[in-house]
Amino acid sequence: MVLRPPVEPMLAQAREPLPGPGVLSGGLAFEAKFDGYRCLLFSPAQPGGPVFLQFRRGSLIQRHFPDLVRAAARLPPGLVLDGELVVWHEGRFSFEALQRRAVSGGRTVDRLAATYPAHYIAFDVLQTGGEELLAEPYERRRALLEALFADHGLTAPWTLCPMTTDPAIAQEWLTSWTEIQGVEGLVIKGRSQRYLPGARGWCVNCTFSGSLDRAIPSARCAAGGGRVVGAARVLHRR
């Protein structure tokens, strides 16, 4: 099945403290949670085809973000990404500027795109090369996402969401990212989880009141995910 919009995104439920062993299948993966707009991105199925940007509830908003549409036209065909749409302005995330862009129209669209360029923080891949990946485990989807960034040398406006399986690094993120406005907490996923559209199968943790030592002992930190601070700095490299 080739994915076409609208596609319901998989969701998270608030969970404090950290979920215990066995709640999420395959061990835990921790991703940084950013304060933006949830957005699914559909690259052209064929060269010259349309790009679609879909908000969480299904509305298509590509006309408000011509800068991302132009950049997405150069992505591999038949790609569907899940991620967060943000604006990085004057050294910080600006949700206000993002809101302005999301409702812009007419000549204002291009002016705001030049003043407040959008960035896309990708945390999942649902389709690549026309192959639908919803039934694949998170761990494989993440590996494909990292390979996409590495193989195509993706830079701004594309950012790979920081992810780690190391509980110590996740703990550091929760205590050190106060210097970054717009980083909200952690999204916690099972490494063998399938992508279930519309289901609240992930956990979100915005403050931490327990120990991370129940997470899986084998750990790694994804490329670009050593520190949330480092990921944030990537966004302003044009």
Phi/psi zone of residue 78: left (φ > 0), alpha (ψ -120 to 50 degrees), beta? left
Span 128-137, pLDDT tens digits: 988 999 999 9
Model's pTM, two decimal places? 0.86
Predicted confidence (pLDDT) per residue in 86-113, tens digit: 998 888 899 999 999 999 989 899 999 9
Tally of CA atoms within 13 A in the half-sphere of 16 that contains its CB: 8
- pLDDT recorded at residue 41: 98
Provide the Cα torsion 148, 153, 154, 160; round to 10°: 60
| For the chain, percent of residues with pLDDT exceeding 90 | 62
